[in-house]
Structure 1
Amino acid sequence: MIEDTTPNDENDDDDLYEHHAFTVDKGQQPLRIDKYLMNRVENATRNKIQTAAKEGSIYVNNVPVKQNYKVKPFDKIRVLFSHPPYEYLLTPENIPLDIVYEDDELLVVNKPAGMVVHPGHGNYSGTLINALTYHFDNLPNNSSNRPGLVHRIDKDTSGLLVIAKTEEAMTHLAKQFFDKTSEREYVAIVWGNVEADEGTIEGNIGRHPKNRLQNTVFEGDDEDKGKPAVTHYKVLERLGYVTLVACTLETGRTHQIRVHMKHIGHTLFNDERYGGEKILKGTTFSKYKQFVENCFKILPRQALHAKTLGFEHPKTGKLLRFDSEIPQDMQDCIEKWRNYAKHQDIEE
């Protein structure tokens, strides 16, 4: 659990701002708090955490602790600093936007891979929201105080996003995403030959208990953990040791396609966070290894693109549907695999 809050009185110099808050799981073994926080705070180094502890910025059950404090089940940990979280300090930046549609209520943008959607730990500038606040005045905030943002996609995923320009549009569009009436189709390159031509993956998704930077599917005794998630997939093209698939989201969980496809044994190609940057299928020939490494260079990110977006216009009620080209880096990678598969006798 991560929460961000601001103090009651912004003019009081003694106020502290909460940057992170965690409640320790009931099954947690005793562990030094610096190690515990390293697994949970993205882009945090042990040195930064130890410095924060020395400065009295790490609290457990409202008492400052040192870096060697051992966390226990149900401990309430808060990290407090005298400055607000950087993601609240929004600086408009003149970054070009690829706008595919715009009217008085909303706009649809095609986000390039590598652009973070909103500021967060380690990414305080160069984000889509920095660009939006430069180009547009008075965008409405969503429930997390993100101007204009109805939904989001990961930094290294490319593709379509709808942005609300009015309060009414924000409410209407957010409800469509919540009610699962919007249409979102992605294309992905995944490792392995996906045997079924189409299928549905269902499984609750939540934070990985051991690697806090990943999400995972909970099964068996843990299946009541996480949040329900449903992904429909369809094979577009079989390319030997990889497959081009289309994925339609019924829900919108963090990393949903990445987690679900890994869960069925088909990790996204070059998805570093989930292990897809390793050669997961293929031969042991050094020539093949070189070929895959060349593909990784052409496509230095997870092979995922938000291709199609459909929703009802908040004012006119008309169904709008947008389609985008697969970006060049993905197209080049697909073409390389297509040529490779054509000239190889591939057996699984």
Structure 2
Amino acid sequence: MSIKKFKFFLNKNQKLIRIDKFLKKLIPNISRNQIQNATYSGNILVNKHLIKKNYKIKPFDIIDAEIHYPIDLDPEYKNIIAENIPLNIIYEDEDILIINKPSGIVVHPGIGHKTGTLIHGIKYYLNNPNLFRSGLIHRIDKDTSGLLIVAKNEQSQKYLLQQFLSKTIQRKYIALVWGNLKKKNGTITGYIGRDPKNRKRMKLFKKYFHKGKYSITHYKVLEKFKYITSIYCYLETGKTHQIRAHFKYLGHPILNDYIYGGNKIKNIEKKQIKFLKNYLKFFNRHALHAISLSFIHPKKGKCNFTCSIPEEWKKLLEKFRKKLL
């Protein structure tokens, strides 16, 4: 996805007009729908504040716009050498693939992961060099397992990317977090940006800051154990490490999440520490799984796909039910 940034300083003679109409005249190759989606996502700011899509610009306003162009044949992806990597495909037709990604595999190339990624395997399987990022519509983290949508042709890719940008693709997750959540369900909101103390992780800021992206996670408690809670999460926005950063902020990091402190065992009875250490070592991943995807299929209408948690997760829950209830 190509991301371009624009900044406009309005003069004293600026007329009062809707911001989408103003930006459409000045930003090349953009629709009003794209502008409205960017506004809803918090990617268009006026005087460093979030605005509504019907905001009318006025003299001396300063507009910052970050526009995501969905189709761009990025050379970094176009030149990837296809690799015969097994894919766990749970659904396929002429337009899409639904893949259940295992924990431990990186979705796309990056520093330290130039080969062996899911993208390499998808490119081999589809054998379509014209697809942006080999048809990938969205991503999940290396140690997160679960569902991903892949487009098999350019038409379905454009259709699905537009849904993703419009936030009409619904993604739901299962997670295990440390501690006992006080509420049975809740909503976490705030601005996500890079943690100034650790560039590898994101941080939730409750107050607006210029590099932060507004984020919303809804959660529901599924099962409580001693020291650990199983939860269900629904993402209203999809920012980098969103669930991980949100629950770190609450003081309930994802189980076994090394980056966000979920690998540390704290405030636990001595007799339980050995048990937990043994099983967390056996688990060897962070406890986050993309369990459900709902979207509009390019030809078949509304679709919903689910996949159960992996076997090692099921075994961990069985042990928790025996030892930690």
Q: When the two structures are superposed, what TM-score results if normalisation uses the length of structure 1? A: 0.69
Question: What residue in structure 1 maps to residue 251 of structure 2?
Answer: 265
d(CA) in 2 for partners of 1:261 and 1:89?
Answer: 38
Structure 2 residue 99 is matched with structure 1 residue 109: yes
Give 1:100 shift: 0.7
Q: 1:275 is matched with which residue: 246, 254, 261?
A: 261
Show the counterpart of 1:320. Answer: 303
Partners of 2:189 and 2:206 within 8 A in 1: no
Report SS of the residue matched to 2:199: coil
Structure having greater relative contact order (Cα 8 Å, sep ≥ 6): 2
> CA, structure 1 residues 86+176, in 2 after alignment: closer, same or farther (shift >3 Å)?
closer
In 2, Cα distance between equivalents of 1:280 and 1:102: 44
In structure 2, relative to structure 1, the CA distance for the partners of 1:183 and 1:139 (3 Å cut) is farther
Question: 126, 139, 150: which is aligned to 1:163?
Answer: 150
Corresponding residue for residue 175 of structure 1: 162
Aligned counterpart, 1:208? 195
Equivalent position SS for 1:150: coil
Relative to structure 1, is the Cα distance of residues 213 and 158 closer, same or farther in structure 2, using a 3 angstrom cutoff? same
Query: Are 2:318 and 1:340 equivalent residues in the alignment?
Result: no
Residue-by-residue CA offset, 1:158-197 (whole Å, 9 max, x unaligned): 0000001111111111111111111111000000001111
Query: Are the counterparts in 2 of residues 183 and 311 from structure 1 also a CA contact under 8 Å?
Result: yes
Give the aligned partner of residue 309 of structure 1. Answer: 293
Q: Deviations over 1:251-306 (max 9, x none)?
A: 111111000111111100000011110103422x1x32211111212211110100
Structural RMSD (CA): 2.1
Q: State the shift of 1:116 in Å.
A: 0.5
In 1: Cα distance, 2:150 partner to 2:87 partner: 12
Residue 62 of structure 2 aligns with which residue?
none
Amino acid at match of 1:194: L
State the shift of 1:334 in Å. Answer: 1.6
For 2:311 and 2:266, locate their aligned partners in 1 and report how far apart those are by CA, in whole Å: 24
CA distance, structure 2, for counterparts of residue 138 and residue 228 of structure 1: 35
Q: What's 2:27 paired with?
A: none
Mean alpha-carbon deviation: is it higher for 332-341 or for 234-243? 332-341
Aligned to 2:314: 331
Structure 1 ranges of 4+ moved more than 4 A:
85-89
Q: Which amino acid aligns with 1:160?
A: L
- String of CA shifts for 1:18-52, please: whole Å, max 9, x gaps: xxxxxxxxxxxxxxxxxxxxxxxxxxxxxxxxxxx
Match of 2:28 in 1: none
The residue that corresponds to 1:291 in the other structure is 275
**CA 1:172–1:266: 2 relative to 1, 3 Å:** same
2: CA distance, partners of 1:172 / 1:281: 49
- Specify the code of the residue in structure 2 equivalent to 1:157: T
CA distance in 2, matches of 1:86, 1:315: 30
| Aligned mates of 1:276, 1:240 — CA distance in 2 | 16
How many Å separate the matches in 2 of 1:161 and 1:333?
24
Q: Give the distance between the partners of 2:203 and 2:241, measured in 1 at CA.
A: 9
Deviation at 1:86, TM superposition (A): 7.6
**8 Å CA contact retained: 1:157, 1:302:** yes
The residue that corresponds to 1:35 in the other structure is none
Q: CA deviation at 1:141?
A: 3.5
**Quick one: percent identity of the two aligned structures?**
48
Measured against aligned partners, the alpha-carbon deviations of 1:193-241 in whole angstroms (never above 9, x if no partner) come to: 0111101111111111121101001134x54541011100000000110
One-letter amino acid of the counterpart of residue 115, structure 1: I
Residue 128 of structure 2 aligns with an amino acid whose one-letter code is N
Q: Offset of 1:140 from its aligned partner?
A: 4.6
Residue of structure 1 aligned with 2:230, choices 205, 221, 244: 244
Paired position in structure 1 for 2:242? 256
In structure 2, relative to structure 1, the CA distance for the partners of 1:140 and 1:307 (3 Å cut) is farther
Letter in 2 for 1:297: K
- Cα distance per residue 1:54-109 (max 9 Å; x no partner): xxxxxxxxxxxxxxxxxxxxxxxxxxxxxxx9877512111111111111111100
Alpha-carbon distance in structure 2 between the residues aligned to 1:268 and 1:171? 34
Moved more, 265-274 or 325-334: 325-334
